[in-house]
């Protein structure tokens, strides 16, 4: 088998005054310049918009969902009912998880206007989810968060190209050569995910005065933070077993902490003397997070395996032709 390559798209910038008489012309895939012809996957003129170029070479998809972990129960914050039924966490291996059953909103536009509007659109869904988040009044906070919230943005890019694999077969010395090539359109997908996590603060039942349902919520908040703290400790100490599965919160964050990611941890502390215990615990949390080393690599999936199998079929068929030719030569001799 021979080699493979990708032919890139070409765009032309606006011409300067001194270049207006340059000897060139173009069509959809060919550029003619100074009497020479150059062929690419796509050729775009000076007036081609960013939308046209981007749509032809890259297909973007931006989606987001917003969830809360309330009493160790995963709930959909973008669902009108804010329910947990049907929401599941599935393990994909290598600390990768996938959440199914959540409301997902997609953005499929790719022109400058749509890209410019992405932040306001995302902020609107963040506001909707934040408004639906569970809060309640305690002795320490009039609107205390009763859950840990996770807002996820997923980005997927499909890069379109072509792979050509060449085959060369030599029958016998002095005889002819059979050559051919296998061509296949390729879609290579790059995926990224951003998790924005708002952890509810640890609670002392004595200080909050929580009772009944509020007390249950506080206990579950602390259990989630404890589970996350155990994960952070295990990662910072380099242990072999990391207890990601000890809570839904840690399962959701398994690919964000100690996994294939870059993580920014923001600690919120109080200068008040009466909060020194919570402040110290938060600072210890942050200091342990500093010792965690993540290893971020691109998540790229392609159709190379399918292409390889198709190329193998072509290869075997050509080999069969070679053997048939050799058999015919041997028979005539």
pLDDT in tens, 178-213: 445 555 555 666 777 888 888 888 777 777 887 788
CA dihedral 121, 126, 127, 130 (to 10 degrees): 170
Residue 146 predicted with pLDDT over 70: yes
Pick the range with the lowest mean pLDDT from 113-122, 176-185, 225-234, 266-275.
Answer: 176-185
Which of 54-63, 231-240, 259-268 is predicted most confidently? 231-240
As annotated, the residues of the chain forming the CATH 3.40.850.10 domain(s) are 60-308
pLDDT for residue 243: 92
255-269 average pLDDT score: 78
- CB count, 10 Å around CB of 130? 16
User: Do 218 and 65 meet the contact criterion of CB atoms below 8 Å apart?
Assistant: no
297 or 20, greater pLDDT: 297
pLDDT value at 62 more than 60? no
The CATH number assigned to the domain with range 60-308 reads 3.40.850.10
Q: What is the pTM of this model?
A: 0.60
Per the CB < 8 A criterion, the answer to whether 190 and 299 are in contact is: yes
d(CA 151, CA 198): 9
User: How does pLDDT run across 278-315, given as a tens digit for each residue?
Assistant: 888 888 878 888 777 777 666 665 556 666 677 778 77
- Contacts of residue 137, defined as CB under 8 A and 6 or more positions apart, other chains included, come to 143, 144
Strands (DSSP E) found in the chain: 10-11, 24-26, 30-33, 36-39, 43-44, 58-70, 73-76, 88-93, 96-100, 105-107, 135-136, 144-145, 148-170, 177-198, 299-301
């Amino acid at each position: 088998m021979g080699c493979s390559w990708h032919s890139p798209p070409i765009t032309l910038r606006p011409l300067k005054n001194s270049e207006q008489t340059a000897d060139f012309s173009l069509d959809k895939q060919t550029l003619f310049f100074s009497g020479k012809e150059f062929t690419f996957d796509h050729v775009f003129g000076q007036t081609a918009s960013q939308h046209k170029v981007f749509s032809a070479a890259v297909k973007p998809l931006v989606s987001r969902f917003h969830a809360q972990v309330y009493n160790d129960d995963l709930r959909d914050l973008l669902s009108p009912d804010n329910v947990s039924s049907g929401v599941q966490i599935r393990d994909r291996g290598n600390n990768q998880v996938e959440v199914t059953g959540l409301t997902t909103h997609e953005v499929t536009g790719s022109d400058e206007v749509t890209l410019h509007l992405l932040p306001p659109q995302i902020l609107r869904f963040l506001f909707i989810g934040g408004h639906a988040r569970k809060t309640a009044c305690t002795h320490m906070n009039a609107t205390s968060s009763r859950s840990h919230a996770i807002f996820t943005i997923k980005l997927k890019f499909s890069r379109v190209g072509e792979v050509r694999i060449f085959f060369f077969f030599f029958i016998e010395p002095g005889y002819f050569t059979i050559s051919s090539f296998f061509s296949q359109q390729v879609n290579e997908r790059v995926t990224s995910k951003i998790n924005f996590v708002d952890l509810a603060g640890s609670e002392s039942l004595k200080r909050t005065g929580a009772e009944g349902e509020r007390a249950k919520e506080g206990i579950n908040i602390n259990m989630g933070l404890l589970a996350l703290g155990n994960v952070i400790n295990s990662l910072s100490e380099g242990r072999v077993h990391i207890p990601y599965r000890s809570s839904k919160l840690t399962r959701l964050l398994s690919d964000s902490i100690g996994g294939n990611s870059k993580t920014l941890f923001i600690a919120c502390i109080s200068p008040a003397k009466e909060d020194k215990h919570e402040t110290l615990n938060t600072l210890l949390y942050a200091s342990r997070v500093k010792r965690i080393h993540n290893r971020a690599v691109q998540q790229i999936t392609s159709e190379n395996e399918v292409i390889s199998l198709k190329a193998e079929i072509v290869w075997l068929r050509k080999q069969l032709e070679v053997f048939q030719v050799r058999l015919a030569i041997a028979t005539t001799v």
